[in-house]
Amino acid sequence: MKKGLILFLLALGQIFFAQELALVKEKSKIGYIDKSGNYVIEPSFDTAKSFSDGLAAVKIRQLWGFIGKDGKMVIEPSFTNVKEFNDGICIVEKDGAWMYINKKGEKLTMPSSEKLYDFNNGLAFMKINDKIGAFNTNGKVVIREEYDIIKPFQNGFARASKDTRWGIIDSKGNVIVPFEYGDIGEYADGTTWAKKGSLYGIIDGKEFKIMDEVDRIWDFEGQLMTYARKNNKVGFVDKTGNWIIEPKFDKARSFNQNLAPVAVGSKWGYIDTTGNFVVEPMYSDAEVFSDDNLAPVRGKGWGFIDKTGKLVIPMGYEISSSFGFGQKNKGFNQGVSRIKKGGKWGFVDTSGNLLGDKWFYNAELFQN
């Protein structure tokens, strides 16, 4: 019986920790709500940041500390400046010096660096004599400082520049795509785009396939095809560099849910994977479908359509981008979208209901 109770409490704790909360400002105080729109942490802070890695930074008088999702102080206020926790580690400033701490507030010994970088995907960059390398959460150097630039890791891979040439490395520092390109895209599933001289093409494995007359290719972003531009028109190519949808549009964005926004002249609509219109061009702007099967479209303000083109959330809102790690879309993320109307912020669910029936002076994205 006791064992069952312990397991239940552990499971309950894991659910609570995984719960996403959003920072909101009501009048002059900051609190945190859940996706029902109810306060989990009542507005009581003058200055605070969003949750990240289970903790949120709050400022008490002139010093920063960190609270947990129960609103209780986990790390007492003692820092003059702070960033966000990632991979259990945060950069903070104390007594005029920047340092790394763990979730107990203890200072960590890490490799020296001319600048401190946030952890991402288990690694933090280090800068020595203007060269970039990386170390892991244990402080072990895993990538020697030999690069001019390393972009943030995505799915275990990163774009990097060395002697003005770009290539791809993995999180152990292995060279996956050699450093022989003038520009290169995000790498996933053995594929990316690249530029060599004035020529653009697709790298499938290690082979560079040139695409004639193409002057730009966008990232695949986990999809089987991406969009590319040829003679000022945009179409879609697969991972072997073959045109799947011929370049005939003026603008385009990524496929998701087997639909992609494209523009003809100044009007946007949506095509399927055969290039046929499912939603005719009629909007002044249109964004990618989310995994919630809704896409933001703009007429008199922003609203949301479903995959049939039906307007399910009326227009009249402002929306903003979601730029966390792995998030590059506008509109819905996991069932809610941040919106603005009449100078105030709120959230709607996929039915268009305003969470908690409340508007706020400020509202940030839901985060763990």
Of 45, 69, 27, the residue nearest 367 (C-alpha) = 69
232 Rama sector, left if φ>0, alpha if ψ -120 to 50, beta otherwise: left
Contact 317, 303 (CB under 8 A): yes
Q: Which strands make up the sheet holding 175-181, listed edge to edge?
A: 149-150, 157-162, 165-170, 175-181
Q: How confident is the model at residue 355 (pLDDT cuts 50, 70, 90)?
A: very high
Q: How confident is the model at residue 328 (pLDDT cuts 50, 70, 90)?
A: low
pLDDT of residue 330: 83
Spell out the residues 6+ positions from residue 123 whose beta carbon is closer than 8 angstroms to its own.
134, 135, 136, 142, 143, 153, 171
* Mean pLDDT value across residues 332-347: 95
Q: How does DSSP assign 269-325, residue by residue?
A: EEE-TTS-EEEEEEESEE-PPPTTS-EEEEESEEEEE-TTS-EEEEEEEB--B--ST
Spell out the residues 6+ positions from residue 138 whose beta carbon is closer than 8 angstroms to its own.
none
Please give the structure tokens belonging to residue 236: 């879609």
pLDDT of residue 3: 55
Amino acid at 195: K
Q: How confident is the model at residue 236 (pLDDT cuts 50, 70, 90)?
A: very high
Q: How confident is the model at residue 322 (pLDDT cuts 50, 70, 90)?
A: low
Contact 226, 262 (CB under 8 A): no
* Mean pLDDT value across residues 113-130: 97
Alpha helices in the chain (DSSP H): 2-18
pLDDT of residue 344: 96
